Structure formats: C-alpha cells, structure tokens
Amino acid sequence: MSTALVTGATAGIGRAFVQRLARDRYDLVLVSRDAGRLGGLAAELRTAYGVEVEVLPADLVNDEGCGAVEARLADRDRPVDVLVNNAGFGVNARFVTGDVEDEERMLRVLVRAVLRLTHAAVPGMCERRHGVVINVSSVAAFVPQGTYSAAKAWVTTFSQGLAGDLAGTGVRVLALCPGFTHTEFHARAGLDMGRIPRPLWLQADDVVADAFTALHRGQVLCVPGRQYKVIVALARLAPAGLVGLVSSRVRARRHRPHDL
C-alpha cells in the first residue's frame, strides 16, 4: 500500500486531503503541531478506512520540527509516495507596522518548510520512479498583497520550475491555488471575512477533488473554481501596477480598526 504525508493535516484543506487519501487506501503520516488533534484524527481514520496512520507532531517553524519531518520523508525503508505541503498561516497586520518576527515565522512555514520537505522527499521518489508532490499555494500568488502573497507566489513558481526539472522521472508536482475556502485559516489569523460574497467561497473537499483531477490530467497548476480561474486570468492580463494598486487598497480597508 502507498503512503502519503500531509502537513497541516488536522483541519481545512489538509484534513480534506487526508480523508480523500484514506478513502483511496493510502497509509498516512499526519503532521501538525497539535498532538491531541492528530491522535483523534488518526483513530477516526483507522476506524473508518482501515488504513495505517502514523502521527508526527511537529512545528515547522522550528528547525527541530522541520528536521523530524525531513527525516521521515528521507527514510528509504518507509517510503513516502505522496507529499502534500499544506501547513500554513497568515499574519493579520500591515508589513510596515507589524512584527517582523511574525512575518519570518510565516515565511519559515510557507517557504522554507516547503523547500526543505520537498528536497527531502524527491530524491527517493526519483529513485523509485514515481511520486507526487502537491504544494498548496493560493490565488493570492497572482495578486500582490503583502508577504503572504509573495510567499505563495514563490510556492507556485517553485512548483512549476520543479515540475519541469523532474520531467521524465515519474515524479509529478502540482501547485494548488485555491481562493477563499471554508477552513479555520481566517479565524486563526483574526480576519473578519464577513464581507466576502458567498459565490467566492469554496469547499475544502471540492478543492481537493479538483487537485486530483488536475493530477490525472497532467497539469502542473490547478486553480479550483470557475470564478477563480476568471480572476487569475484577469490578474495575469492586467498591468502589474494596476493589480498592485487595487490589492493594496483592499488590504488597507481590511486593516481599518472596525474591520478587526
């Protein structure tokens, strides 16, 4: 039976990936900071799907936590066939007035961990001539709006470049770029999302289903939802200065006192 490792596994898109992979009969390695939630989810998956589930509590901000996950991915005796780099969080502050330590912690999870975990997993996949890396990016990658957008732009470009580098090896790479999705992400970041129109919201299960459809079709980039395909197409066509101006005004409104 094949094995998948998912970071940020206990909620939102990560949990949807875990459930889909368990349903597809993958054994699982679940990574999250919350050992209690990991244990509960693991028990639920074992009972519902009869798969083997390993829990790996780790904080990807820290060298120790990231290193533990790297070591698991590099273990040739317990190969990982699918890596889902999903862990992430946002910082609800303008860059010029926010805490730079918070910004750096975010970058360590969104960028550094993605780079290091992928680097740990891919050599073994290449040796075995098969494997999948799914890097969860965001529509924000196409709309300049602070450090989070910059980090997700890196994830998207990194994934596309790596996919080209691995062509012919049997290892596939997908950048998954969802828009607003019903998860715990926004609440944890302290963001008031009440103004977002209902048609812009996606369901985590639908996002994951679109990711697997994209992999089946051999795509490297997946933007779930027709509405977001249109938004991304327009963002790519519009002058960079105009996109940046619009997104900066939206961000400024979001950080007014009555919005927080």
Taking CA 102 as the corner, what is the angle to CA 180 and CA 55, rounded to the nearest 5 degrees? 70
Question: Catalytic site residue 228?
Answer: no
Q: Which of 26, 49, 148, 228 is catalytic?
A: 148
DSSP H/E element including 131: strand 131-136
Q: Within 13 A of 90's CA, how many CA atoms are on the CB side?
A: 22
Q: Return the closest-CA partner of residue 181 out of 206, 209, 148, 215.
A: 206
Distance, CA of 77 to CA of 202 (rounded, Å) = 38
Torsional class of 179: left (φ above 0), alpha (ψ -120 to 50), beta (otherwise): beta
Q: What is the CA radius of gyration of the chain?
A: 18
Which are the catalytic amino acids?
Answer: 148
